[in-house]
Amino acid sequence: MENTKDFIFGTRPVLEALESGKPIDKILLKKGLSSEIINEISTHAKQQGIPIQRVPQEKLNRITTKNHQGIIALLSIVEFQPIEEIVHQLFCKGKNPLIVALDQVTDVRNLGSIIRSAECSGANAILVPSKNSARLGGDAVKTSAGAIFHLSVCRTHSLHISLKNLKNSGLQIVCATEKASQLYYNHDFTKPTVLVMGAEDTGISPDILRLADGLVKIPVLGKISSLNVSNAATVLLYEAVRQREPF
């Protein structure tokens, strides 16, 4: 069933949405389609860091049976905020930043669950890449139980560059990985922190692991090799709460 509040279709409506600054998650464009207005759309999308994905006609038809003209813009539920400004404001207020960064987490249920845990644990923001990330649409709202509306959501064209900038701003980069030798409860989370969680199948990208100030793992004592990424994020976030809050 179509939910027309979740997307915009047609070349002119998509261009107008871009020009008005409407929050767009990504743009689906029919393979081989090109024109002057498509070039204009591509320019605006690139300037705003909105990914364009070339897809077959059939994929567009599955989203809507109406005349989409070969282009559909999938809308974001939230307006993205610059992560650098969020961190600057936190430091100015004398607060201790706790940011969650997601590397290639493409399952919307995991994304929503992580957002819910991040909001409940007092994290300040979620940082996601513009590509290879779950869509921030209606399903993300549902799985986050509405927490997505109470947490700053930031998007970046390059997660590596953003993490490097945050590191240079005084935040430690802590990556959750099975490759770690240190158990999570032995790491100091009282410092300004970016907690990086990776995809369940591929984990965190090697270039981001090399950037890390700390690698941590959760001990697994059963027969299953690892926790679901959203469960793992909850464990680590509440370790940060335990260390930071004087209960």
State residue 185's pLDDT score. 96
pLDDT > 50? residue 114: yes
120 and 193 share one domain: yes
Question: Which CA distances in Å does 124 have to 24, 25, 77, 97, 100?
Answer: 22, 21, 18, 6, 8
Q: Which domain holds residue 24?
A: 7-75
CA distance 118 to 111: 10
71 and 87 share one domain: no
pLDDT tens digits, residue range 7-41? Answer: 999 999 999 999 988 888 889 999 999 899 999 99
Q: How many CA atoms lie within 13 A of 42 on its CB side?
A: 11
66 and 89 share one domain: no
State residue 2's pLDDT score. 45
- Residues paired with residue 168 on neighbouring β-strands, in sequence order: none
Which of 49, 75, 101 is a domain's end point?
75
How high is the mean pLDDT of the chain? 91
Question: Which CA distances in Å does 197 have to 5, 64, 78, 136, 215?
Answer: 30, 34, 21, 17, 11
Which of 75, 92, 120 is a domain's end point?
75
- What CATH number does the domain containing 48 carry? 3.30.1330.30
State residue 209's pLDDT score. 96
- What CATH number does the domain containing 141 carry? 3.40.1280.10
Contacts of 13 (CB under 8 A, 6+ apart): 73
212 and 140 share one domain: yes
In a domain, 167, yes or no: yes
pLDDT > 80? residue 247: no
pLDDT tens digits, residue range 146-167? Answer: 899 999 999 998 999 999 999 9
State residue 124's pLDDT score. 97
Q: Would you give the DSSP letter of residue 65?
A: S
59 and 107 share one domain: no
93 and 120 share one domain: yes
| pTM of the model as a whole | 0.84
State residue 138's pLDDT score. 78
State residue 133's pLDDT score. 87
In a domain, 1, yes or no: no
State residue 5's pLDDT score. 62
pLDDT tens digits, residue range 44-85? Answer: 998 888 889 899 999 999 999 899 999 999 988 888 899 999
111 and 192 share one domain: yes
How many domains does the chain divide into? 2
55 and 90 share one domain: no
Which of 75, 92, 116 is a domain's end point?
75
65 and 88 share one domain: no
92 and 201 share one domain: yes
In a domain, 2, yes or no: no
28 and 136 share one domain: no
Question: Quick one: tokens of 159?
Answer: 């997660």
